[in-house]
Amino acid sequence: MHKQLMKMFYLGYSKGVFHPYLIQNNIDLWIMSCINQGTIMFDGNFEMYGRLLEDLIIDYKKNTCYMKFKKVYWADGIELTTTDLSETIKFLLHKDAPNHYFYRYNELIGSKEFKDGETLDIEGIRILSQREIMFYCKRITESFVMNFITPILPYHLHKDINIKDFFQLKCKIEPIGCGPYIYSYKKDNVHFLKRNNLFHLGKPFIDELQIIEGNENEQLELIEKKEIDFSIVNPDLAAYIKKNLSEIYDIYPLKSLKTTTISFNYNKITFKNVDTRRYLRDLISVEDIIKDIYLGYADKTSEIYPPLVVDKKLMNIEAPKLDFYEVNSDNVKFNHKLKIGYKAGEKIHERISKYILSLRNEIVDFEVMPVNDMYDAFIKKDIDLYIHDVNCYLYPYVTNMYDRDGSYVKINPINDEELFQIADNLRLNNSVIHAKELISHLYKNVSNIFLSSPSDIQIIRKGYENLNVDARGVLWNIHEIYRRKL
């Protein structure tokens, strides 16, 4: 029988660590996602559903979450159970695990007592059966629920691990998951994955994935040679393929949940002044950024909400009327160059920062600097502004940026009680009215500057069947996809 093979190209170079809690770069994240699956996911309409579950009940009034698992097996043949999930959380809340995991689960009743070593179990976790589990929280938040997108750990492979050594990358763990593929080996710059015949949604049609790593020049060369079946490309390469290789590749510019955002460093007194924030917003042309930097592969947003959210969740709802707020120029004063930060290596964000640099005038001046960590740079006051992408999950999961107890607010004190209250109302009531309140408040107060929602541009060679492309991507149902004989 003809062997089905798909060759993918991904920018970057693997660190060889495919563990969901040790991922260090995007290519390893992509490989990990072929090996693993999270407990929950979003469907084509971005409604949350239990990917590994028969039943998922989230009660925002009682602050509980009930899960019932399907019959799922790890790739080594061991059945996945609720013990795996419970022990994953205990693993991450261990005293030797990094503290940021505690903040992800701190709403779980008993999490602090367990972290502090006062208890051996977590009060808010109740295993009801091998496949049923209940979580009890002080408050169900986005930060808590979204944790279940990250894959859980096979307890039988982690139960004897020294947790301190694990997080220092001193342990070797077999990359066993419950996803559609199993990691085999790496040769030169190619990672080989074979299909998982125990995959809970059925044996994949494509027998082998070859994931090639490299730089932009190597990506272009392999695409021009027609040696790649799938890749994620930037706007410049997408425009080139459209012009020169459209008979070979289909291009899918997918609307995303990302909003490119400029965050103010509220640790600095400069940004306590709303007129200063409004002045900077008015200085920037979103239309120019979409046209000249994204080459049209981006959309305007309704403040933090990208069009995907507006289309799916706020449809047929009249957008709130946004009043024009005139800037009081007497209140706008900058006593130093504003330092614009972006994550080192993010070329699009670098180009946006250089565009902003070109806007300097007699009132404000800028300088640009790449940084490795926004949180660290904000706390140390190294930067004034930071360009980054925010994943805006569908309300009530607005974004943890506006969770009064979230990590973003802890390092970047917005101190906007009205904003926090709107976000709380949105979370608790799941109301379009509160979504419109949020849009109006963010516009009026310029809590952040929202630039655009960039498309996730994916290409695939013509000839693949069973594609069911939606906002989740071209290959979200990879187990069903196959290549017809040409």
Same domain membership, residue 264 and residue 354 = yes
CA angle 282, 285, 291 (to 5 degrees): 170
**Residue 30: in which H helix or E strand, if any?**
helix 26-35
If asked whether residues 147 and 112 sit together in one domain, one would say yes
429 and 335 part of one domain:
yes
* pLDDT for 313: 62
Q: Are residues 331 and 391 in the same domain?
A: yes
Structural domain contains residue 18:
no
Provide the pLDDT for residue 353. 96
Q: What is the CATH number of the domain that holds 468?
A: 3.40.190.10
Nearest to 21 by CA among 186, 171, 184: 171
Q: Tell me whether residue 242 is in a domain.
A: yes
285 in the same domain as 215: no
Judge if 337 and 231 occupy the same domain.
Answer: no
User: What is the full per-residue pLDDT of the chain (486 aa) written as tens digits?
Assistant: 578 999 999 999 999 999 999 988 889 999 999 999 999 988 877 777 899 999 999 998 899 999 999 999 999 999 999 999 999 999 999 999 988 788 778 889 999 999 999 999 999 999 999 999 999 999 887 667 778 988 999 999 999 999 999 998 888 888 999 999 999 999 999 999 999 999 999 999 999 999 999 999 999 999 999 999 999 999 999 999 999 999 999 999 998 888 999 999 999 999 998 999 999 999 999 999 999 999 999 999 988 888 877 776 655 455 556 666 777 777 888 889 999 999 988 889 999 999 999 999 999 999 999 998 888 888 888 999 999 998 876 544 456 678 787 778 888 888 899 998 988 887 766 677 788 888 889 999 999 999 999 999 999 999 999 999 988 899 999 999 999 875
Residue 256 pLDDT = 86
In a domain, 442, yes or no: yes
Using alpha carbons, list the distances in angstroms from residue 302 to 311, 321, 438, 453. Answer: 11, 11, 10, 10
Cα 105 to Cα 83: distance, rounded to the nearest angstrom: 17
Residue type, 16: G
Amino acid identity at 15:
K
The Cα-based distances of 214 to 8, 14, 326, 344 in angstroms read: 11, 9, 49, 17
Side-chain-side CA neighbours of 241 within 13 Å: the count stands at: 29
**Residue 189, domain member (yes or no):** yes
Residues 293 and 375 in one domain: yes
- Residue 366: φ, ψ to 5°: -130, 160
Does 437 lie in the same domain as 297? yes
Range of the domain at 238: 179-254+457-483
- Judge contact between 231 and 73, C-beta under 8 A: no
Say whether both 449 and 464 belong to one domain. Answer: no
Identify the burial level of 207 via C-beta atoms within 10 angstroms of its C-beta, where 0-12 means exposed, 13-18 middle and 19 or more buried.
middle
**Residues 158 and 286 reside in one and the same domain:** no
Q: Which two tokens stand for residue 165?
A: 């050594």
Distance CA 37, CA 48 (A): 14
Q: Are residues 412 and 269 in the same domain?
A: yes
Q: Identify the pLDDT of residue 171.
A: 87
- Give the number of domains in the chain: 3
User: Are residues 246 and 226 located together in one domain of the fold?
Assistant: yes
Q: What pTM, to 2 d.p., does this model score?
A: 0.84
* Nearest of 305, 254, 292, 283 to residue 450 by alpha carbon: 305
Q: Is residue 365 part of a domain?
A: yes
Q: For the chain, what is the radius of gyration of the CA atoms?
A: 23
63 occurs within a structural domain: yes
Looking at residue 67, its pLDDT comes to 96
Q: Is 210 helix (H, G, I), strand (E, B) or coil?
A: strand
* CA 466 to chain centroid: 26
Which residue(s) pair with 298 in the sheet?
A: 454
Cα–Cα distance for residue pair 80/330, rounded to 1 Å = 63
The helices-and-strands tally (H runs, E runs) of the chain is 17, 21
CATH of the domain at 331: 3.10.105.10
- In angstroms, the CA 203 to CA 180 distance is 8
Residues linked to residue 10 through DSSP beta bridges, in sequence order: 213
Q: Is residue 27 part of a domain?
A: no
Residue 33 lies in a domain: no
